[in-house]
Structure 1
Amino acid sequence: MSTVYAYPWDVVGDPGAAERLAGLNADAVAIAASYHTVRAATPQHPDHRMVQARSAACYVPVRPSAWQGSRLVPAEPDWVPGADPFGAARDAVRGAGLPVHAWVVLTHNSLLGTANEDLTVRNAFGDRYTYALCPSAPDVVDYCERLVSEVMTLGAPDGLILEACGPLGARHGGHHEKTEGADWTAVQLDLLSLCFCTACLELYRDRGVDPVELRGRVCDGVDAAEPPESVDAALGPLAAQVREIRTGTAADLAARLVARAREVRPDIRITMHASANPWGTGPFSTVAGGVPEVDCLVGNCWIPPDVAADGLAALRRLAPSKVDIGAYILALPPQPADPEDLGALMDCFAGAGAGEFHMYHGGLASARRLATIAETLAKRPGPE
């Protein structure tokens, strides 16, 4: 099975967009129903070449009645026309014969995070990640549940894709990122991703973890002349408890959102962007604390192929056999626009356990890259 991703503005206002997406030989199209700030190229659109989504927004209507009493209320977009951009794009793509999955980005929201800093991830040094809503906070969980419910109710999709279904961390964050020169290792970035917001501090204390000791160990690991070999080594005797707290928070959020979606549509196919890494943060949330009742887990394959393959294999080992494993594949630079190269990459990921391929991106790609996607997918077997 293959899915191509797109934004509502790729389709709205372009009479040829739905047929163009259908021509990519994918089995479904994932359209963003909730998304973060972005400046996006639209090389195929007849009316514009760039879209500036100035803030995170919800692309199904934001009904006041549904958000009454919620501290966090999503913004509505004014950069794409119409009262229901997701619905308009959904209907167009369905009209071209393809099912539409609602792609929902959850805790990555700079607008709401900046306005509610106490609900965002705070690292051991006290720095706030205002793009990262922390799911340890009940208000954040409530926001995510309402968002999924509204997308399911108003969006009426054929499938649901959950992204950032857990805490974000030091990666995948700031606008005009300027952090590379610090030379932090992957372990140090994981340490910088551990949260010390009020809700997380309460969790640590409730589970018998001393936040002062934990903060000291994290800071020492980040600033060490010789970086620690692993997060567990840096945290020492606190590692097991902290890992259980972190993975449990992500598992609880995922379980709640899956349950909420199935309240609306018991038969809905649910996909989650996921990682088997217990310290993983970002769009691909950890499922090391328990795999939710989803139909597919999609792993990040925008990284070196051998690392991506290892991650997919780890997801396959972790997930029940009934849960499919998908590979999230970049069809944009630096990936060459070469069907043979893209096909070889997909073969590699299939060998690691991937039975689905999620192609990024049907709206951002040039005509040459769209042709590469179409040619590559045409050579692969369809769903059984």
Structure 2
Amino acid sequence: MKVTGYAYPWDVLASPGFTARAADLEADEVAVALSYHSARAATPWSERGTSVLARHAAFYRPVREEAWRDKELRPSTPDWIDWPDSGGDAVRLLNEAGIPAAAWIVLTHNSQLGIANPGVAVRNCFGEVYPWALCPAQPAVREYSATLTAEAVDGLELSSVILEACGPLGAVHQHQHEKTDGVWAPAVARLLSVCCCTACAEGWTERGHDADTIREQLRGEVRRLIAAGDLTLTEDKLLPSVRRGILETRQAATDALRHAVLERLPDGTRIVLHGALDPWVTGALPGLTPAASEEVGAVVLQNWAPGQSSVDAVAAARAKLPEKVAVGSYITAVAASPVPDIEAYVTELGKAGAAEVHLYHLGLAGPARWPDLLAAGAAAHSF
């Protein structure tokens, strides 16, 4: 199994011994975040301090005026680090050390842009804006994502381009001090994640639906499901034709976003897509569209929760996706409750069909968690 480790630019540049640790891990590539959302990231290997506070989403390459002039949306630069091209510097440092580097690019998760430009953010059926979620149906979002990707990879030698949030985000991912966990039944969260912005409404109209009627039906279903008082509910009572029109609109927008991004990448670039088999999933790993698997080299599933459900998800993906598309398993060594036997877990994922293991996170996992990463890497390479 191929091993991809994830890291932030400051992990590579400011944590002593990073390349040596990556070499010990025998990582086949290290994915460097070149565009990332806001975060407070622990730095257990650093000699400078204990964390980096990324106050807002930022682009870790130079924001060139000639590339972004006259664009409705443009990324911000990070003033919390010392390097003007930290992402590029990190990639180059890894290459010099003989470690292949991948570009890790977060696309539609950007609270700063959503707050400043609410018209391009996801809007639910109650008219509430989700500022953390840029809507793929908006042309400005697709133009932003395409330019961001082109600028991210410019001038760099990369083993892969890994696309996160290449699709819609929804109700539960992710705002500051999130207080929605355990509140919504799955069916409610799904309906609250349906974007009702003007661009999405136009898509419904093109498919023969009245947008105001759909919004009212969504509101009614949300209220009914909440009143039922059952957090296990997974089904709604929308008409199949309405449900189909909503999903087709979403998938068309997601395909348009991905196409805009892929058109800006050099021919032959290996594309790795974070995704999910369930087409209704929103978030960092959004639901795959029918066309997605024909356009990428690998699909990475969210397998942070160990257990049979994750193993079954890998097996289902391997059965459904074309043979040429590798199935990757995204696992973490920095969860509050660590995987009891991460080596056995990786082995089970491999048996189910995973050809890649994506390790989170080479910077966040300090000395106490590094043995878990080593065990996961060893299991992957021995499979």
- Asked whether the two chains share a fold, i.e. TM above 0.5, the reply is yes
Q: CA deviation at 1:335?
A: 4.2
**Pairwise CA distance, 1:252:** 2.4
Question: CA distance change for structure 1 residues 252 and 310 in 2, over 3 Å: closer, same or farther?
Answer: farther
5+ residue gaps in structure 1? Answer: none
Q: Which residue of 2 aligns with 1:25?
A: 26
- Compared CA separation, residues 221 and 155, structure 1 to 2 (3 A): farther
Aligned counterparts of 1:68 and 1:26: Cα–Cα separation in 2? 38
- After superposition, the Cα gap between the structure-2 partners of 1:337 and 1:351, relative to the gap in structure 1 and judged at 3 Å, is closer
Given that residues 124 and 219 in structure 1 are in contact (C-alpha distance below 8 angstroms), is that contact kept between their aligned partners in structure 2?
A: yes
Q: Does residue 257 of structure 2 align to residue 253 of structure 1?
A: yes
Distance between the aligned counterparts of 1:303 and 1:47, measured in 2? 32
Say if 2:136 is the partner of 1:132: no
Partner of 1:319 in structure 2?
321
Counterpart residue identity of residue 142, structure 2: V
> Counterpart in 1 of 2:357?
357
Supply the distance in 1 between the matched residues of 2:210 and 2:233 (Cα, whole angstroms): 23
Aligned to 2:217: 217
In structure 1, how many angstroms separate the alpha carbons of the residues matched to 2:285 and 2:66?
A: 31
Task: State how 1:134-173 maps to structure 2 within 5 Å.
Answer: 134-173=135-174
Give the Cα separation in 1 of the matches to 2:181 and 2:160.
37
Q: Is 1:280 matched with 2:281? A: yes
TM-score under structure 1 normalisation?
Answer: 0.93
The question of whether the paired residues in 2 share the 8 Å contact of 1:61 and 1:154 is answered with no
Shift of residue 337, structure 1, vs aligned partner: 6.5
**What letter is aligned with 2:353?**
G
Q: Which amino acid aligns with 2:373?
A: I
1:330 is matched with: 332
Q: C-alpha separation between the residues in 2 aligned to 1:64 and 1:305?
A: 48
- Whether the 8 Å contact between 1:214 and 1:235 is mirrored in structure 2 is no
Query: Given the alignment, which residue of 234, 237, 243 partners 2:247?
Result: 243
Contact 1:129 1:169 in 2 (8 A): yes
Corresponding pairs, count: 377
Q: Per-residue displacement from partner, 1:293-322 (whole Å, max 9, x unpaired)?
A: 111000011235333233323332332110
What stretches of structure 2 of length at least 5 have no aligned partner?
none
> Could you say which residue in structure 2 is the equivalent of 1:45?
46
The 2-side partners of 1:229 and 1:371 are apart by 40
Cα distance, 1:10 vs. partner?
0.8
Paired residue for 1:301, among 296, 300, 303?
303
Structure 1 partner of 2:13: 12
Aligned-pair identity in percent equals: 40
Tell me the distance in 1 between the aligned counterparts of 2:233 and 2:335: 31
Could you tell me how far apart the structure 1 residues matched to 2:272 and 2:382 are?
Answer: 18
Rounded Cα–Cα distance in structure 2 between residues aligned with 1:188 and 1:73: 33
CA distance in 2, matches of 1:210, 1:303: 40
Q: Is the 8 A contact 2:16 2:46 kept in 1?
A: no
Deviation, structure 1 residue 207: 1.5
**Structure 1 residue identity aligned to 2:245:** Q
